[in-house]
């Protein structure tokens, strides 16, 4: 048990140090880098929304991939320091007005998680609440053929997300990036090619 805990700590710490060294705002950047390497969802000329974007690690990666083409809008209830090439909207996602968007959206990404209580039933219920909000935004903004990447937890929220994405996307994939802590219940689901 101690070995697994140490490995988990080392994995997270390794990516924290790497993020600082490479100028990323969080180790989460490496999760998105790995997912994009596998799935190629972040391409030039795309319009992308980053839900729950603070502190900005994912938005940094998207900005690098877009290379000044397309657009990225980051949305979060928490303030995010300015990032070149990223339009930031500070608001609670429950109150987000999609008419604020200036263009159609090709990709929606989200690394949002609720505050963790340690009680699985509570954490899964809170994650499902967040996923419902995300899916509402996906339904209102994502173009046909678009892609959606979301974090959820192994358990009820994964089942909920998988069930709901099967109705909306032609292809579903699931992954747990190396930058995730070994003991974390987080998993990422990718919906490709919106119906």
| 28-64 per-position pLDDT tens digit | 999 999 999 999 999 999 999 999 999 999 999 999 9
- Residue whose C-alpha is closest to residue 192's, from 154, 146, 130, 127: 146
* Active-site choice (14, 44, 84, 151): 151
Q: pLDDT by residue (tens digit) across 87-102?
A: 999 999 999 999 999 8
pLDDT digits (tens, 9 = 90+) for 162-191: 999 999 999 999 999 998 888 889 999 999
pTM of the model: 0.91
pLDDT for 12 equals 64
Task: Kindly state which CATH superfamily the domain 2-194 is placed in.
Answer: Vaccinia Virus protein VP39 (3.40.50.150)
DSSP one-letter code for 108: E
Give the confidence band of 11 by pLDDT, cuts at 50, 70, 90: low
Helix (H) or strand (E) holding 157: helix 156-166
Catalytic status, residue 151: yes
Domain boundaries, the chain: 2-194
Identify whether the C-beta of residue 187 lies closer than 8 Å to the C-beta of residue 161: no
């Amino acid at each position: 048990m101690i070995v697994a805990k140490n490995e988990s700590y080392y994995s997270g710490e390794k990516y924290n140090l790497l993020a600082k060294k490479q100028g990323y705002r969080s180790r989460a950047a490496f999760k998105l880098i790995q997912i994009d390497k596998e799935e190629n969802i972040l391409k030039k000329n795309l319009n992308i929304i980053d839900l729950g974007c603070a502190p900005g690690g994912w938005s940094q990666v998207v900005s690098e991939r877009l290379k000044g083409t397309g657009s990225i809008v980051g949305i979060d209830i928490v303030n995010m320091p300015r990032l070149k090439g990223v339009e930031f909207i500070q608001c609670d996602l429950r109150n987000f007005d999609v008419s604020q968007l200036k263009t159609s959206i090709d990709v929606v990404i989200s690394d949002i998680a609720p505050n963790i209580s340690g009680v699985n039933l509570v954490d899964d219920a809170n994650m499902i609440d967040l996923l419902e909000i995300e899916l509402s935004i996906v339904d209102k903004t994502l173009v046909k053929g678009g892609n959606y990447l979301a974090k959820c937890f192994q358990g009820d929220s994964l089942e909920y997300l998988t069930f709901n994405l099967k109705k909306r996307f032609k292809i579903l994939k699931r992954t747990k990036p190396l930058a995730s802590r070994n003991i974390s219940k987080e998993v990422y689901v990718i919906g490709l090619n919106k119906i």
